[in-house]
């Protein structure tokens, strides 16, 4: 445990040195601090949302049964939805108007054990699975394994046909690199209980522009010329961050370490989205959730503990995608739509949606334009 912690902190120190030696790419002044302070504020979404609309995912018309939506991406103009129904996991492809196109991949396929993430690759997609990386056509009909290895991470990206799997639990590395037609080594996992505490993710925007969040090292990195460069530093203010808690673990064994972490109130990031203009982070301080929205142009920060939909009285839920047009994509199930009590009837959009979804049973993506 101490070795893993030491090597992770050593990796961060090396990255800082690399950063300091590459002043042409990133200057010291460019490393901004993101303060993750707690907030109990109820914030009307009209204070940060200019307009909203609803995109119906037309699955009932196609005879496809959709479960819980766990992720959303927009790839090459199509909407890619990750869904979970009991033990079934799959990626489903929709048009930009919500028309069902096809299921891309499903874990019922005997070859892929668990589809975790999807990115554009060649003329179709690459799928990250627990047991490797697969290439699949857009219609989902042609699936082949291109990398065979046990993966520790749950997200990845590709640059010039080289895959980078993001994980803070594999071989003490933040990124594990894989290339086609090369022998791949398996990532080494730490205890699954520690794994669940970690949160890593990648935001891809612009041309080959990747920002990667590591809540373990309290840093958002930029990936430049195959090198991770610190870009933003996460600061918990009066609260410890996960990295600060780890530094105080000492000689505790696994059981004692878990107890110490749970007993020490700290900041834990749960959701990270970013584009050219906005950073959107949701995190927990103890048992309370706070969302932070940063306008990068002037570094304005807005915090709220709970968003209240005062535009049409509808639902405010977890954002899963931030488009390059500054739109948040928020999935809402038909059950939530039907069971929601409208408190604001100045606008009729959600009331009309309830009546319509009652007959179709389709899930919806709420698209919210940030101010």
Q: How far apart are CA 211 and CA 216, in angstroms?
A: 15
For residue 182, give both structure tokens.
Answer: 């090369």
pLDDT lower than 70: segments of the chain = 1-29, 169-172, 187-193, 195, 345
Q: What share of the chain is helix, strand, coil (3-state, %, to 5)?
A: 15, 45, 40
Domain of residue 22 covers 2-370
- Look at residue 10 in the predicted model and tell me its pLDDT: 37
User: CB under 8 Å, gap of 24 or more: what pairs does 181-187 form?
Assistant: 184/132, 184/147, 184/148, 184/149, 185/149, 186/149, 186/150, 187/149, 187/150, 187/151, 187/152, 187/153
The CATH number of the domain holding residue 318 is 2.130.10
- Look at residue 319 in the predicted model and tell me its pLDDT: 97
Tens digits of per-residue pLDDT, 152-178? Answer: 889 999 998 899 999 876 555 788 899
> What are the backbone dihedrals phi and psi of residue 304, each rounded to the nearest 5 degrees, phi first?
-155, 145
User: CB under 8 Å, gap of 24 or more: what pairs does 18-24 form?
Assistant: 18/227, 18/228, 18/229, 19/229, 19/230, 22/224, 22/227, 22/229
- Look at residue 23 in the predicted model and tell me its pLDDT: 33
The tally of domains found in the chain comes to: 1
- Look at residue 247 in the predicted model and tell me its pLDDT: 84
Q: How far apart are CA 224 and CA 208, in angstroms?
A: 9
- Look at residue 345 in the predicted model and tell me its pLDDT: 66
- Look at residue 262 in the predicted model and tell me its pLDDT: 84
Residues counted in the chain: 371
- Return the C-alpha torsion angle 283, 293, 276, 175, nearest 10: -10
């Amino acid at each position: 445990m101490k070795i893993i912690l030491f090597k992770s902190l050593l990796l961060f120190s090396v990255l800082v040195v690399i950063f300091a030696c590459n002043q042409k790419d990133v200057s010291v002044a460019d490393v901004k601090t993101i303060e993750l302070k707690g907030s109990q504020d109820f914030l009307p979404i009209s204070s940060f949302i200019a307009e909203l609309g609803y995109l119906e995912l037309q699955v009932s018309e196609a005879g496809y049964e959709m479960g819980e939506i766990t992720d959303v991406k927009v790839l090459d103009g199509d909407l890619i939805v990750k869904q979970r129904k009991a033990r079934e996991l799959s990626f489903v492809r929709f048009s930009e108007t919500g028309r069902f196109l096809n299921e891309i991949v499903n874990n019922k396929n005997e070859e892929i054990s668990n589809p975790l993430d999807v990115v554009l690759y060649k003329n179709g997609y690459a799928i990250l699975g627990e047991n490797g990386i697969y290439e699949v056509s857009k219609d989902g009909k042609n699936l082949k394994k291109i990398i065979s290895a046990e993966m520790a991470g749950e997200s990845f990206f590709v640059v010039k046909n080289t895959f980078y799997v993001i994980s803070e639990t594999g071989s003490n590395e933040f990124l594990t690199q894989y290339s086609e037609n090369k022998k791949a080594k398996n990532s080494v996992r730490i205890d699954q209980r520690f794994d669940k505490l970690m949160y890593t993710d990648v935001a891809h925007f612009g041309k080959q522009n990747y920002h990667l969040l590591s809540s373990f090292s309290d840093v958002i990195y930029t990936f430049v010329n195959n090198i991770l460069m610190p870009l933003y530093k996460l600061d918990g203010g009066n609260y410890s961050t996960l990295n600060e808690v780890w530094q105080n673990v000492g000689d505790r064994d696994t059981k004692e370490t878990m107890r110490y972490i749970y007993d020490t109130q700290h900041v834990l990031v749960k959701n990270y989205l970013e584009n050219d203009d906005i950073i959107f982070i949701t995190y927990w301080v103890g048992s309370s959730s706070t969302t932070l929205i940063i306008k990068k142009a002037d570094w304005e920060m807005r915090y709220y503990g709970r968003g209240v939909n005062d535009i049409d009285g509808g639902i405010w839920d977890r954002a899963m995608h931030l488009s390059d047009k500054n739109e948040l994509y928020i999935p809402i199930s038909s059950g939530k739509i039907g069971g929601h009590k409208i408190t604001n009837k100045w606008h009729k959009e959600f009331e009309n949606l309830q009546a319509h979804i009652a007959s179709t049973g389709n899930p919806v993506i709420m698209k919210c334009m940030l101010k």
